[in-house]
Amino acid sequence: MAARIITVANQKGGVGKTTTVINLAASLALADRRVITIDIDPQANLTSGLGLKGQAGVAGTIYEALTAATIPDLTQFVLQTNVTGLSLVPADRNLTGAELEMVSLDRRETRLRSLVQQLVDHYDYIFIDTPPSLGLLTLNGLVAAHTVLIPLHSEYFALEGLADLVLTLQRVRAGLNPDLDIEGVLLTMHDGRTNLSQQVSRDIRDFFQEKVFKTIIPRNVRLGEAPSHGLPVILYDVKSRGAEAYIALAKEILGRDSITLRNTEEHI
Ligand SMILES: Nc1ncnc2c1ncn2[C@@H]1O[C@H](COP(=O)(O)OP(=O)(O)OP(=O)(O)O)[C@@H](O)[C@H]1O
Ligand SMILES: [Mg+2]
């Protein structure tokens, strides 16, 4: 079966996009799915969080792939991570310039789709991590995807600013990607003890209804620590609440009550 392509997006910064890509992708890889993640954020937090900061594929990073005169072979940009079955197309700071450079290129909104389509027969899941904006890079992510996964920070007035994202999704559906669906809305950094977190989760369920994942990601210090070790939390501390939550999310996405994870000891 061809890969499911999921873009993780929310133009609000620091809501858990990158954390979700890293840990959901790693959980699925440890459940023996073939997974690749693509970093299209100039901050390159996905690349560093997977321990590959400053590294590039044989032909470079996503920057070179997106701005090449002709669409290159994306397999030349792929790196293996320290999780078996989990690969990465890395980014670096150069990507900051890509948004401007791409404006003058033809098919500027569909470049990532053309690149990613080359991978669909080789993976089960493709995750795209986007920057905190609704610019050309995020647009490329939405045009390339089957679905969008929207992380929402439970402790802010999370619905604020969502109107812009919903409008962007409508525009993408009306134009370049009519089949784009919502994979789900994910509540992150949840603290069940605060009234605000509880209120936000009620508001979000009212608004997005069954599109909200049952799994809620708690605020968990291990999730914050793991990236500086270049590891998904499932390898950093598999027993943490953060790891358990992302494994639960992987089950929810696979539509399974249980999944068998390979021994994490083997993968470090
Ligand atoms: N559930 C959590 N509990 C505690 N810390 C978290 C949690 N999720 C993410 N973090 C931390 O919060 C910060 C922001 O998370 P993350 O980088 O995933 O957000 P983002 O939406 O990708 O940000 P940006 O918009 O800048 O790309 C990071 O330092 C991360 O380690
Ligand atoms: Mg990020």
**Contact yes or no for 118/74 (Cβ under 8 A):** yes
Structure tokens that stand for 90 in this block: 């890395």
CATH number at residue 236: 3.40.50.300
Closest CA relative to residue 163, chosen from 11, 6, 8, 13:
11
Query: If you compute the radius of gyration of the chain from its CA atoms, what whole number of angstroms results?
Result: 17
Residue 165 lies in a domain: no
Residue 184 lies in a domain: no
Residue 215 lies in a domain: no
Distance separating alpha carbons of residues 197 and 147, to the nearest angstrom:
26
List all residues 6 or more positions away from 247 whose beta carbon is below 8 Å from its beta carbon: 27, 234, 259, 261
Report pLDDT for 265.
62
Report pLDDT for 72.
97
Distance separating alpha carbons of residues 172 and 31, to the nearest angstrom:
32
Closest CA relative to residue 15, chosen from 244, 206, 232, 200:
200
CB atoms within 10 A of CB 53: 13
Residue 249 lies in a domain: yes
Q: How many domains does the chain have?
A: 1
Q: How far is the CA of 151 from the centre of ligand 2 (A)?
A: 11
**Residue 175 beta carbon below 6 angstroms from any ligand 1 atom:** no
Question: Which residues, listed in sequence order, are joined to residue 35 by a DSSP beta bridge?
Answer: 86, 125
Ligand 1: which residue has its CA nearest to atom 29? 224
Q: Rounded to 5 degrees, what are φ and ψ at 2?
A: -70, 155
Q: How far is the CA of 45 from the centre of ligand 1 (A)?
A: 10
Report pLDDT for 267.
54
Residue 178 lies in a domain: no
Structure tokens that stand for 30 in this block: 């440890």
Q: Which domain holds residue 16?
A: 4-152+221-258
Mutate to test the pocket of ligand 1, among 8, 12, 18 (most ligand atoms within 8 A of CB): 18
Q: Give, in order, the Cα–Cα distances in Å from 262 to each of 20, 146, 167, 247.
A: 20, 28, 41, 12
Closest CA relative to residue 83, chosen from 51, 128, 59:
51
Residue 175 lies in a domain: no
Report pLDDT for 133.
95
Which residue is associated with the tokens 């914050």? 224
**Contact yes or no for 140/106 (Cβ under 8 A):** no
Q: How far is the CA of 170 from the centre of ligand 1 (A)?
A: 26
Beta-strand ranges (E) seen in the chain are: 4-8, 35-39, 79-80, 86-89, 125-129, 147-153, 181-188
Q: Are strands 125-129 and 86-89 parallel, antiparallel or unpaired?
A: unpaired
**Residue 47 beta carbon below 6 angstroms from any ligand 1 atom:** no
Residue 210 lies in a domain: no
List all residues 6 or more positions away from 231 whose beta carbon is below 8 Å from its beta carbon: 51, 82, 268
Per-block mean pLDDT, blocks of 10 residues, the chain (268 long): 96 96 98 97 98 98 96 97 96 94 93 98 98 97 98 78 91 97 95 80 86 96 97 96 98 87 66
Residue 98 lies in a domain: yes
